[in-house]
Every structure is written in C-alpha cells, then in structure tokens.
Amino acid sequence: MRQLFFIIFLLLIPSVFAEEGSIKLLALSELSDGSQRGVVTDLSLEINSGRERVFLETFPLTKITTQISMRFAEQIACRELDVDCSGYDFFYTIRALQGLVGGPSAGAAATVLTAALLSGVDVDSSMTITGTINSGGLIGPVGGIKYKIDAAVQNGLKTVLIPRGSRLWREKNASLDLVEYGANHNISVVEVATFGEAFGLMTGRKLEKEDGDLVIADKYRERMKLVAEDICSRAENAADEIRATVVNETRAQAFLNISDSAKSAFDRGEYYTAASFCFRTNLLVKQLGIASRKPSRSAVVKQIRDAENSLDGFVGNMSGRKLNSITDVQTFMAVNERLVEAKDGLLNALKSLNRSVDSANYVAYADERFRSAVAWSNFFGSDDRRFDVGQLRLKESCMDKIAEAEERYSYVKSIIPLKLADTRKELDRAYADLSNGTFILCLHRASKAKASSDVILSVVGVDESQLDGVLDLKLDVAKKEIIRSQKRGIFPIIGYSYYEYAKSLRDADKSSALLFAEYALELTNLDIYFGSRKQLFLLSEDSWSLFVFGALLGMIVVHIYDRFNLARLRKLKRKE
C-alpha cells in the first residue's frame, strides 16, 4: 500500500509542472492616419501538461493569423528538437498597444521561445527577432523592419535578428543598409536564415547538426525507376521517327531537347526528373500525331468514353484502400492528383468537341496523367514507419494546413499588390476537398498553396543576383529535412522527388526550381501532423526543485502512513 501512495504521488507531480518564459516581440502598430510604426511588445508562453493544444491570448485582441502562426511555431519547435509535444498545452500571451498589426511575423520569435522552454534554456532579454517561420525552420521576410529596428532602439535592445536578404530597405526609390543603420544607432542588426542560427544566437546553445549524407532509399529508387521506365518506354522509339519526319520543326526540336534531358536524368539515376521529362515528350508526340491525323469528332468522342471507363474502374479500385504510413499518404497524394488532372482533361475535351484537334489534345493529356497515376500506385505498401493516418487525424491535418496556407496567402496579399489567382484557386479546391471528405488531397493542395505564397515572400526585395543564394539555401534545408526524416524511418517520396526536380531546374528555370524546392520543404515534414516523436520530460531547475519537494513530500506521506498503520496494529494486538 505504501508503494502505491508513493507511485500516485510521483504520478501527480508532472501535472503541476509548468514552464514559463517570455521574449521581446517586434511588431507594427497602425496609427489613425493609416501609417505604421514599430512597437516592442512581450510574447510570453506557459507550457503545461495537456493534449498539445495551442492557445493565444492578446491584449488587445489581434488578428486570427497570429493564432495560426503560434500553432505552426509550436510544431516547428517540436520538430526541430525532435520531441513529442503531444502531452503538453501551450499558452501564448501578447500584451501590446491598441492597433497591433497581426500576422505571421511573430513566428520566428515564437519558435525560438518555444524551443528555449522545451530545452530549459533562457533567451537573451537584450535580443529579439522578426521574421516568419517556415517549413524546415527557414526564417522568412516580413514588412516594416526599419520601423521595428527604431522601436528596438527606443526600448534599449542591443540586437535585432532579421531574415537573411532583408538588410536593404527600399523606400521612395532609395535604399538603406539596415545593418549600417543599426550600427549608427548603437544596435546590432544581424541577418539569419534558419531557426537553428537564431536559436544559437539568442540562447547561446547550438543545436545538434543533422550529420550524414542523403541516401536514397532502395525501395524508392527501385519503384521510381519502374515509374520512369513505364512513362519513358513510350517515348524511346519516337525520337528517330521525329527526326525522320518533321511535322512541325519547332515542336519537333522541343521534343528532342526534352527527350535528351530525360535520357540524361535517367542515366544519372534521377528517375522522377526523367519521368517528368518523359511525360512531356509523350504528350508532344501525341500532339504531333493528332496535328497530322486531324481526328474526327466521333473518333474523339469514342476516345473520351474509353478513357472515362478506364479511369472510373481504377478510381473504384482505389476507394477504401487502407493507409498505414506517411509513404502511403504521399502515394495517395501523387496518384489522386494525377487522377483529378486526368478527369479535368476529359472534361475540357468534352467542352471543346467542336474543335476536334483541341479536344483530342485534352484526351491525350488525360491519358498520360492516368498512366502516370497507375505507375505511381506501385508505391503503396512500402514498409516505413506506421503512423495514425485515420480519417480524424487526416481531417485535422487538412484543416491545420489550410489555416497555415490562408495565413500566408493573406500576408502576401497585405504587402504585395498581386492577385495570386492560382494560389486562391488551389486553396478553394482544398476547401472543396475538405467538404467532400477527401482529406489527403486537401492536405496536398493546401501544402502547395502555402508553398506558392512562401516562394513569393522569399524573393520579395531580392535582387536577381541573389536568387542563386536563396535557391541554394532552400535546397540545402530541404536536403537536411529529408535526412532528418530518414533517420526517423520515413523516406518522403514526394518531398524527395520535388527536391530532385528542383535541382535539375536550377540553371534552366530558377523560378520553377524555387517553387519545387518550396514544395519539397512543405511535403517533407508531413509527419509533424501525425505525431510520434521521442518523449520529453520537462524539468528545468524550478521543476527539479518541485520534483524533489514532491518526492520528499511523498516519502513523508509514506512515513506517516507507516506510523499510522503501526499504531493501528499495536491497538489491535492490545485488544486481542
């Protein structure tokens, strides 16, 4: 019985553990005339035992995007430290002046504070940081940095960390070097690219580096090679025919260029890249054939019906498939994305039946996307780590990612006069998937929508000469994220595929390379939405004191119980 008392006491102790801390936060405040000024506020955090809920309390109320930013900051901090935060609740509080501008610019600061409390270290109170926090721990650009530095100077701070690439402030056709500006005002302004850099500077503790090389998983290599062979086999014999019979010289040369790129990629073992190029060559071959044959309307209608039957049969076989791993989730994403695109192609074919050549081209596109979907389905059943990928968890992950994408989309819209029509369309489709219960497709669409916004933010104010540096940084972080996932028993098949493709486009098409690098980052760390990290037992110096006090109290209770039990036994003996 006394052991039971002691165990119960020890079990109760963690429920009263709490970690608390704060960080200075740079923000913007809107004035009555519509202008903005920088302000310094306090962001505090309390971590208690719980169920990984994230709460934000603000005085006064601020925008909902700030709440979303805190949620993502918590997820990134837990991933960067590789700890399981499912047993804790996170209570963030911002105390600020009226008119505080909300948004994701508090993300980097919130991530540093969260990681510091989880690690049991202090944040240097003379330092602060402004920047978004992005997948892979990248720190992204924010607005109003000069105003924020002014506020830091007025409040006696010594160091301000800003996102890399943000040191040149442009205002009224003039440029200002913010690092020099800070030095002239007795404050150090330092550019940082990643959470790890910021955390090391603000806490004095360097995180462990992700050592090791990126090793492509054997099963991925084998199955991706099969995908590439399946897609490329239909184009191998077409090159000689194209060279011999030039139907359209410009399109023929385009085909040959892409075909050569596919062969080179295949020979290098870059099978996703090869498959992507082969898809384009197959489509060009079909389009060249259609242009020469000029099929009749009735022939095209028959092609559409045959394609619909094949598509419907495959979709039926896909329904109800059991998913057990992140690889299964990513495979489902890849297959369904291609199936949806095939359906869209057939719909467009029906709409353009009066133009038989155009309609036939849409059928050709749909056929290639369908064949690609079938090839990708070979990835189902890969033996990697199992996660909870049930419908409820998938729905929650879909909603979380939509919220993150909306936050980033709104932020881009607030600082850049762009319509972002394609991003909005992708987000609207994600909402439709959420309503229809197709949560994996929703997660995929929302991830890509967020990546589209992030890639725009990452190049705001960046000179063309700096694009190589931005791209190299994203590729480097994506590579580290893939290595980290591998160490945890996951090979992110889509994340790696996009990473490989981004590298192949680096010199020829930097814009697309940046986008695919961003896709790689978003789709490599999907496991943060499905749990399963190592357990963390929060014990700072104060917590250790509480633990020791609880243990002593437990022993006292046990001692009192023993004395009481002994007295009771003696009393019983006297009665006997």
pLDDT in tens, 444-477: 999 999 999 999 888 876 777 788 889 999 999 9
Which of 39, 24, 43 lies closest to 90 in space, CA to CA? Answer: 43
**Structural contact between residues 329 and 386, judged by C-beta atoms closer than 8 angstroms:** no
Q: What is the pLDDT of residue 58?
A: 77
Which range among 184-188, 366-370, 539-543 shows the weakest confidence by mean pLDDT? 539-543
Q: Give the three-class secondary structure for 28.
A: strand
- Rounded to the nearest integer, the mean pLDDT of the chain is 83
Q: What is the pLDDT of residue 249?
A: 66
Residue indicated by tokens 């909300």 = 102
pTM of the model: 0.81
Q: What is the pLDDT of residue 13?
A: 46
For 405, the token pair is 């994408």
The Cα–Cα gap between 454 and 152 comes to 26
For 340, the token pair is 């949806």
Q: What is the pLDDT of residues 434-451, one digit of tens each?
A: 999 999 999 999 999 999
Which of 265, 261, 279, 271 lies closest to 219 in space, CA to CA? Answer: 271
C-alpha dihedral over 244, 250, 254, 260, to 10 degrees? 40
Q: What is the pLDDT of residues 291-303, one digit of tens each?
A: 778 889 999 999 9
Q: What is the pLDDT of residues 17-26, one digit of tens each?
A: 568 999 999 9
Number of CB atoms found within 10 A of residue 528's CB: 17
Q: What is the pLDDT of residues 61-111, one digit of tens each?
A: 555 557 778 888 999 999 899 888 888 999 999 876 555 656 688 899 999
Q: What is the pLDDT of residues 279-332, one digit of tens each?
A: 988 888 788 778 778 889 999 999 999 999 999 999 888 877 788 888 889 999
The Cα–Cα gap between 220 and 322 comes to 20
Which of 112, 82, 110 lies closest to 195 in space, CA to CA? Answer: 112
* Phi (first) and psi of residue 143, to 5 degrees: -95, 165
Residue 531 exposed, middle or buried by CB count within 10 Å (0-12, 13-18, 19+): middle
Interval 227-235 mean pLDDT: 85
The Cα–Cα gap between 170 and 460 comes to 11
Which whole-number Å values give the CA distances from 537 to 24, 168, 310, 460, 547, in the listed order? 26, 43, 54, 41, 12
Which whole-number Å values give the CA distances from 52 to 60, 75, 84, 405, 531, in the listed order? 25, 9, 9, 21, 10
Residue type, position 116, single letter: A
Percent of the chain at pLDDT exceeding 90: 48
Identify the sign of the CA torsion 558, 564, 570, 575: negative
The Cα–Cα gap between 96 and 41 comes to 5
Instruction: Tell me whether strands 168-171 and 174-177 are parallel, antiparallel or unpaired.
Output: antiparallel
Q: What is the pLDDT of residues 99-149, one digit of tens each?
A: 565 668 889 999 999 999 999 999 999 999 999 999 899 998 888 899 999
**Structural contact between residues 336 and 439, judged by C-beta atoms closer than 8 angstroms:** no
Interval 335-353 mean pLDDT: 94
Q: What is the pLDDT of residues 159-177, one digit of tens each?
A: 999 999 889 888 777 889 9
Helix spans in 377-459 (H):
391-415, 421-436, 439-458
The Cα–Cα gap between 452 and 448 comes to 6
Q: What is the pLDDT of residue 495?
A: 94
Residue type, position 394, single letter: L
Flag whether pLDDT at 493 surpasses 50: yes
Q: What is the pLDDT of residues 497-534, one digit of tens each?
A: 999 999 999 988 999 999 999 999 999 988 877 764 44
H/E stretch holding 535: strand 534-535
Q: What is the pLDDT of residue 235?
A: 66
Q: What is the pLDDT of residue 421?
A: 86
The domains located in the chain, with CATH, are 19-203 (3.30.230.10), 225-379 (no CATH), 391-529 (no CATH)
Q: What is the pLDDT of residues 258-279, one digit of tens each?
A: 888 899 999 999 999 999 999 9
